[in-house]
Amino acid sequence: MSDIQSAGSKRILKILPYLSLLSVLAIWELVVDTGLVPNTLLATPIQVIELFIYKLSHADPDGSVLLVHVLTSIGEALTGYTLALLIGIPLGLLMGWFVVAEGLARPIFEMIRPIPPVAWIPLAIFWFGVGLTGKAFIIWASGIVPCVINSFVGVRMTNPVYIRMARTYGASDWEIFKNICVPSALPMVFGGLQVALAASWTALVAAELIAADTGLGFLITMGRRLLMPDMIVLGMLMVGLTGVFIGIVIDRVEKRLVAGVRR
């Protein structure tokens, strides 16, 4: 696409995203300033930025500084997420290649799969309380599904020609799984990690909205309780930004690992 564009329109294209963001912020600021939307319902961008700077160093009114909320959420997410991929990826890969593994694990998996992750929240609170463990469990339950599915499909999609090739070398089933199926499934597995991340992050915030004493979801809930629309918006923005950040990290790792595969 960019080959067709002239240099001038390229420059305009570069400015466009900023222009669009700025105009949204300006309109947002205006609708509140002019009283079109009451300030008690919606904070202005400037108020959000002010609160952001304040929250960097102040624990009140919700009990923790911003960084603590962010780190709590990341900590919970990473715990559950790591467990999800440590269990989900090997499980999915094995299910894809070994008929016995599929036969054993598939029915259980298919039964759990249609349950939305947020439906686990009450049970998780019941079992583990409002701390890290309960949240990690919910993240795990929502993250493991895409990990398993993508790893499974990734192995199943291995080009049969590669498998045939390895067979002509006299390779055993396990050798073929290890040396052919797993590497060829990697791009698909990483796709699953991104999907799992989105699912986990959503479930985490939902869990924190219901039961937590720190974390970004908790910050949003406190904003509602304290009638502070700026805090709600700040919480939402931080959820988005942190999610993007984690996504970028995973993308980097993927590019390192999946060498040679043109996508």
The site for another protein (CB under 8 A) is made up of 161-162, 164-171, 175, 179-180, 183-184, 186, 258-262
Task: Report the residue number, 90 or 187, with the smaller CB distance to another protein.
Answer: 187
CB of 184 to another protein, least distance (A): 7
User: Does residue 92 contact residue 150 with C-beta atoms inside 8 Å?
Assistant: yes
Looking from the CA of 66 toward its CB, the CA atoms found within 13 Å total: 19
CB of 148 to another protein, least distance (A): 22
Q: What residue type is 110 in one-letter code?
A: E
* Other beta carbons within 10 Å of 71: 15
Nearest of 127, 262, 263, 145 to residue 199 by alpha carbon: 145
Task: Report the residue number, 106 or 167, with the smaller CB distance to another protein.
Answer: 167
Task: Report the residue number, 33 or 175, with the smaller CB distance to another protein.
Answer: 175
> What contacts 139, CB < 8 A, 6 or more positions away?
76, 77, 79, 80, 81, 84, 200, 203, 204
Task: Report the residue number, 48 or 93, with the smaller CB distance to another protein.
Answer: 93
Count the helix, strand and coil residues of the chain and give each as a percent rounded to the nearest 5.
Answer: 80, 0, 20
* Other beta carbons within 10 Å of 152: 28
CB of 197 to another protein, least distance (A): 23
Task: Report the residue number, 75 or 183, with the smaller CB distance to another protein.
Answer: 183
